[in-house]
Chains A and B, each alone.
Chain A
Amino acid sequence: MTSAAISSASAAGQPAPAGRADGRIDCDVLVIGGGSTGAGVARDAAMRGFSTVLVERADMATGTTGRFHGLLHSGGRYVVKDPKAAQECIGENIILRRIADDCIEDTGGLFVTTPIDDPGYADRFIQGCKATGIEVQEIGVAEALRREPRLNPRISRALVVPDATVDAWKMVWSCVRSATQYGATVLPYHEVISVIRDGSRVAGAVVRGPGGELRIRAEVVINAAGAWAGKIAAMAGCEVKVRPGKGIMVATNHRLVNTVVNRCEMPADGDILVPIRTVSVIGTTDTLVDDPDDWPISRQEIDEMLTAGENLVPGFRESRTLRVWGGVRPLFQDEGPAETRDVTRAHAVLDHRARDGVEAFLTITGGKFCTYRLMAQDAVDAACGVLGTSRPCRTADEPLPDSGEQKFYRIGSRLAGRERTLHDEQLICECELVRRGALEEAIARRGAASLDDIRRALRLGMGPCQGGFCTYRATGILHQATNLSAAEANRALLEFLQERWKGLHPLLHGDQLRQAWLDDWIFQGVLDVEHLPLAEQERARV
């Protein structure tokens, strides 16, 4: 499985920046990378009044950000091992609950001592929580089992912390919306092909997008490419050692728990079970890989996740699993290699003037999703330094669009919303309750030819049938709503099926295998998708 970029969709819907017609844009701040950090940096910079451009080689939040379990850490995970990271987490947890409630489900979290855990760790955990300012409360095992009846009944201790879950795609797009409201230009599907140097100074980047090449000149360039930050830095002639740390996750068909459940133990593989939207995700692993774009998922890793799930929730192995996927953490190392879990999860802002004698170029790396806002703040503070100005950060106070009313997301909200349109609107994705109107709005908003981009906005095709019943419906609507040719629409269908299949096939068994057969009959048997008319060059791609 690789997370290769697909430069298939246009970035229509974005306001055309000044000077774009001649293939040039001038701005104060150029942000490279459209993950949570980049989106946060773009928002922060735009809010401070800098003219800002963000470029991302694929769609927003498709690198590491869109490929994690969805846990908004309380910081509990790091209290013993990495108190600095823990402090950052709880600080940001509190802020994000305030400014991004629409993206967050307030599930709460439990740290439980399972039979394979060191019983003494819980006391160190409590001390660590107190030292780092994380609210913690011990509850009895019976109470823990009442709250989460499927938990391993052999747990010996249970501690409640303010973990939550977060929809990363929604968070990133909320940042993008806010940034563009403040005048930023956000360009997904624009890949950096070179960094512009102006003597010792970095002066921007050349990017290739659907409309050709763009030359973006900037006063300061912020490299927020996460696990790919080393590649971007190298283009500027700098060395940044970011080791991609691969983590895999497995999603179950429905929620087995409604609270985030962590093993009360030093961070290890498969020790978190996260209820995110309609599924539970068990994660994760941590393995160094060489190339953030090319790494495998082995059967053994999947098996380890299932075993880990079984330890937290007996019967986990018998539960239907929907898919497996992985993401690569940006693990920043200044010196020699180490075990990935020993690398600090705190973040770092690198000013390459001091490190490499390269001016106006910053790299923000390390960190975690839940500290993205703080990372952005630190990065833009540093950018202010480069620009010789001082403007205060306001992202901790101003809520994201649709947030700010302390109305956390509820899993039942889509079901409740569906009640209002039950009788007059078609359901396109039955599993995730995606209405026709919601799909049409998303297509209009994104102007995207890629169903996978729509998927991230709506969860289209992310439920039990993994696109078996919605792909053909959505393709027809996409074809109708856009000016795609039949061949292009066919390609969109095939690419979506291919994308779904990537995460399905490594762990197909039991109920999901049965589903895959039915889906296969629909697409091969009834629709004969392998012989859909495609343009010749399209056929070569799929």
Chain B
Amino acid sequence: MTDEPAFDFIRDSLDHCVKCTICETACPVANATPLFPGPKYVGPQAERFRTPGSSDDGSLDYCSGCGICSQACPQGVHVAEINSRARATMKQQRRMPLRDHLLSRPSVEGRLATPVAPLANFVLSNRIFRVLAERTLGIHRSAPLPTFAGRTFQRWARRHRPAAAEREVVYFHGCSANYFQPELAEMTVAVLEHNGFRVLVPPQDCCGLPLQSNGIFDTARSYVRRLVGNLAPYARAGNQIVATSTSCGLMLKREAREILGIEDDDLRVVSEQTYDICEFLADLDAAGQLRTDFRAVPMTVTYHAPCQQQGHGIGKPALDLLALIPELKVIELDRACCGIAGTYGIKREKYDIAMKVGQGLFDDITSSAADLSVCDSETCRWQITHATGRPSVHPVEVLHRAYGL
């Protein structure tokens, strides 16, 4: 408990709750399953019955951690953050499944599987193995799992020789872009370089977010501390840090402090300098510094702002960027959540809930005439593609194409 701030502003925010129930009406999970009693119940209400180290409400585990309750609350209650902390206590009190440990360490899996990617991918897509994994580990047989690229972005970045540039920016790529989708990271570098930046890629490991959302706080803290330790010298030197993984960016901006309770200078300075990539590029555009030499992209795409992106509180800058591309038609989808919520929808007991949460979004996508589905978060893209059969890409991939890079 040494990491807990002395005056607990997250718990104290429950004082603002007037029981209006707006969070419950907004909660995508409570609307999909009666197993979850809802954010008001498990948040400001149940918290009054909790003492440090006590865990009495297993139903809390059905919270997906999407954070929509905190966004919806008109009184400023940190509902999702209260729930995340309580869930961590619960995980400490109860025996945690091996699965949750496995799903929480993407960088460990990445390092192990990358050299043997074809084998790993075969296993992960093999029906028999998946049935086995469902029975033994509780990973749902149909859940969307990523494929290993067989190479890493870090390795590419070390060899990459950028052209001379006047400005520098630090790129926090996250595990997904490193192990599963290095081409996204490479496109990001290309887009930034096209705009006159030299892209610095410090050594980096997992931010600890999957550990945190699975309630393994101590390990999550050590991961995020190591990461901000690597990034802090750049931030102190005045460099801005951009992230293409919107949820991992949010971890640095807010969650490491608000959920993990970390209060230190490295985190503070990194938080201040971290930007979601679309936020960063839209700011550049607002300052008249974004190159707009976009080619026409005569396509129709849907755009879904994932809950974690909405947690940034920056609006939907991807829409502003996509609007710059000639002949691109963008359909904004007004749905809250795709259901996956990181690793939530992968779990056997939660897969159906997650699919139900996302059903409205999936229906919107399949009934649209869009060629592509655009979304800022990797796990959401996997879920969308899994549920709709349509390809799903990061906004930067569309920009990259429009720049003709």
Contacts and interface: CB of A to CB of B under 8 A. Distances in A.
B59 interface: yes
A253 interface: yes
A415 B42 CA distance: 10
A464 B19 contact: yes
Nearest to A510: B15
A414 B37 CA distance: 15
A430 B20 CA distance: 12
Nearest to B37: A422
Interface in B27-51: 34-35, 37, 40-41, 44-51
A430 B15 contact: no
Contact of A419 (B19, B45, B48, B57): B57
Given A469-B19, A518-B20, A150 B57 contact: no
B11 interface: yes
B405 to A, nearest CB: 52
Contact of B4 (A149, A416, A515): A149
A150 B18 contact: no
B56 A412 contact: yes
Interface of chain A: mostly helix, strand, loop or mixed? loop
Contacts of B40: 430
Contacts of A146: 1
Interface string A382-426: 000000000000000000000000000011111110110011000
A416 B57 contact: yes
Contacts of B20: 518
B18 A514 contact: yes
Given A255-B51, A315-B7, A419-B56, A320 B41 contact: no
A179 B11 CA distance: 43
A41 interface: no
Given A411-B49, A423-B34, A515 B57 contact: no
B57 A464 contact: no
B56 A413 contact: yes
A245 B192 CA distance: 75
B132 to A, nearest CB: 32
Contacts of A415: 46, 49-50, 56-57
B49 A412 contact: yes
A97 B45 CA distance: 29
Interface string A267-309: 0000000000010000000000000000000000000000000
Contact of A416 (B17, B35, B45, B56): B56
A150 B47 CA distance: 17
B264 interface: no
A468 B17 CA distance: 13
A105 to B, nearest CB: 10
A318 B47 CA distance: 18
A254 B11 contact: yes
Given A412-B56, A413-B56, A419-B58, A278 B15 contact: no
A258 B40 CA distance: 23
A463 interface: yes
A281 to B, nearest CB: 14
Contact of A258 (B1, B11, B51, B57): B51
Given A411-B49, A430-B19, A150 B56 contact: no
Interface residues on A, range: 35 or more
A14 interface: no
A320 B18 contact: no
Interface string B43-80: 01111111110111111000000000000000100000
Given A253-B14, A464-B19, A518-B18, A278 B48 contact: yes
A463 B56 contact: no
B48 A254 contact: yes
A515 B17 CA distance: 8
Interface string A508-528: 000100110010000000000
Interface string A428-461: 0011010000000000000000000000000000
Interface in A219-259: 253-255, 258
Interface in A117-172: 145-146, 149-150, 153
A319 interface: yes
A463 B48 contact: yes
A253 B46 CA distance: 13
B129 to A, nearest CB: 35
Contacts of B16: 320, 511, 514
Contact of A254 (B7, B15, B75): B15
A195 interface: no
B349 interface: no
B12 interface: yes
B51 A319 contact: no
A91 interface: no
B51 A411 contact: yes
Contacts of B57: 415-416, 418-419
A202 interface: no
A314 B6 CA distance: 10
A449 B37 CA distance: 31
B12 A319 contact: yes
Contacts of A315: 7, 12
A433 B45 contact: yes
B320 to A, nearest CB: 35
A42 interface: no
B344 to A, nearest CB: 19
B8 interface: yes
A153 B51 CA distance: 20
A253 B51 contact: no
A424 to B, nearest CB: 10
Contacts of A418: 57
A431 B356 CA distance: 30
A464 B11 contact: no
Contact of B41 (A319, A430, A463, A469): A430
B142 to A, nearest CB: 26
| Most A C-beta atoms less than 10 A away, residue of B14, B41, B56 | B56
Contacts of B41: 427, 430
Given A253-B14, A464-B19, A469-B19, A433 B1 contact: no
B19 A422 contact: no
A465 interface: yes
Pairs A-B, 5 closest by C-beta atoms: A320-B15, A412-B56, A416-B56, A415-B49, A415-B56
13 contacts: A254-B14, A258-B52, A318-B12, A412-B51, A412-B55, A415-B49, A415-B50, A430-B41, A430-B45, A431-B48, A433-B49, A464-B48, A515-B19
Given A150-B8, A419-B57, A422-B59, 15 more contacts: A149-B4, A150-B6, A153-B6, A254-B15, A254-B47, A254-B48, A255-B48, A314-B7, A320-B15, A411-B51, A414-B49, A415-B49, A430-B40, A430-B45, A431-B45
